[in-house]
Amino acid sequence: MNYKSISKLFLLGFIFAFIFSSCTKEGPMGPSGTDGADGTDGTDGVDGQVTCLVCHSGTNMEAKQGQFWMSAHAVGAIAVDYAGGRQSCAQCHSHEGFVQYATLGEVVGDITNPSAWECNTCHGLHETFEGQDYALRLYDPINPIFDDEVTMDLNGNSNLCANCHQSRREAPGYGVEELPDSFAITSTHYGPHHGAQANVVAGMGFAEIEGSVEYPTSSFHLDQASCTGCHMATFTDEQGGHSFIPSVAACNECHDADLDDYNYGGVQTEVEEMLIELRDDLIALGVVEGNDEDGYHPHVGTYPLVQVQAFFNWVGLEEDRSMGVHNPKYVKALLRNSIDALEGETASH
């Protein structure tokens, strides 16, 4: 290649380099544009500690603990003695058993060192961390032990109570199309489990003997009140709150009354009289034996079905301990029809 050719190539390369650098070189910055409008201020978030302090402030927690120590739920002897460690009973009679049941759906074995109920028995892990998050372990409607094909719904938080406060056993002849003529009582412990308040409130699980009084299809305290509304109303006069002692103040507010006890409309007086009458009838028939000092229990034997049904109703309503307050119309129907059904019955022993 000669000198002219080399010069032409060099010149051509120089031209291309000049053109390329001219295309890629950034020019001077222009003047600034007008500022945009300010955005809308966002809403300040809630202090994360405020929600926690609704329950966990020192004063509030101490108040609730003080109320709880007034309650029967805090009595270790009731919760633990005899039943707290037994697999079949621990579901309700010990803290450990209830937590197992609420978490796993069953108690997986005997509890070796059962303890009484505490805050963490009913209240588990938080779910939403909002002000309405009471974090109850159980709050859905239940399938009662005496019939897992039906639903007992005491409405929201009150369903927690129903898990334990139920009869466990069904009344004689419950769910049977052809009723037997007789029924055998094989144990002095026969009858509904102690404290079947959920059955009474819901109006189910008892022996609805036919009679002159019609059984109601609704319950005021189920439809318009609740377990928690009466037993956990604002703590006043050593009642309500976490003491679980029913609040007379809440009763008066709901019923627009001015009572100093729970005997609204004389229902407790009327029911107590019928309970005594039915008990005495059962004693006369030999179905029940005992006395006020030592207590009453069924006498082992075989009896006409209606007599055992009447006994089941008597002991279940006696141990409800509300004297009819939980469901007045239903309780009075059960007792009146049971009493009337025993007329003309003769002692089988």
Q: Is 206 left (phi over 0), alpha (psi -120 to 50) or beta?
A: beta
CA quadruple 217, 223, 229, 230: dihedral, nearest 10: -30
Positions of E strands within 214-270:
none
**Which range, 21-30, 41-50, 231-240, is most confident?**
231-240
Residue 248 has pLDDT above 80, yes or no: yes
When pLDDT is cut at 50, 70 and 90, the band that residue 27 belongs to is: low
Q: What is the pLDDT of residue 311?
A: 98
- In a 3-state reduction of DSSP, which class is residue 320? coil
Averaged over 8-24, what is the pLDDT?
55
Alpha-carbon distance values, 86 to 41, 53, 89, 128, 188 (Å): 60, 37, 5, 34, 20
For the chain, what percent of residues have pLDDT higher than 90? 68
Q: CA-to-CA distance for 314 and 275, rounded, in angstroms?
A: 6
- Interacting residues of 72 by C-beta distance below 8 A, sequence separation 6+: 78, 244
**Which range, 11-25, 38-52, 305-319, is most confident?**
305-319
Residue 146 has pLDDT above 70, yes or no: yes
Higher pLDDT, 208 or 345: 208
Q: What is the pLDDT of residue 77?
A: 80
Alpha-carbon distance values, 217 to 53, 234, 341 (Å): 43, 30, 21
Higher pLDDT, 247 or 54: 247
Question: Crossing angle, helix 328-341 and helix 305-318, to 10 degrees?
Answer: 150
Domain ranges across the chain: 49-135, 138-231+261-349
Range scoring the smallest mean pLDDT among 14-18, 137-141, 185-189: 14-18
Provide DSSP, 101-118. HHHHSS--S--SS-----
Residue 25 has pLDDT above 70, yes or no: no
Q: CA-to-CA distance for 332 and 312, rounded, in angstroms?
A: 15
Q: What is the pLDDT of residue 330?
A: 97
Q: What is the pLDDT of residue 53?
A: 76
Kindly report the backbone phi and psi dihedral angles of residue 122, in degrees, each rounded to the nearest multiple of 5, phi listed first.
-90, -35
When pLDDT is cut at 50, 70 and 90, the band that residue 14 belongs to is: low
When pLDDT is cut at 50, 70 and 90, the band that residue 40 belongs to is: confident
Structure tokens belonging to residue 233: 């109303």
The per-residue pLDDT for range 94-134, each reduced to its tens digit, is 999 999 999 999 999 999 999 999 999 999 877 777 766 76
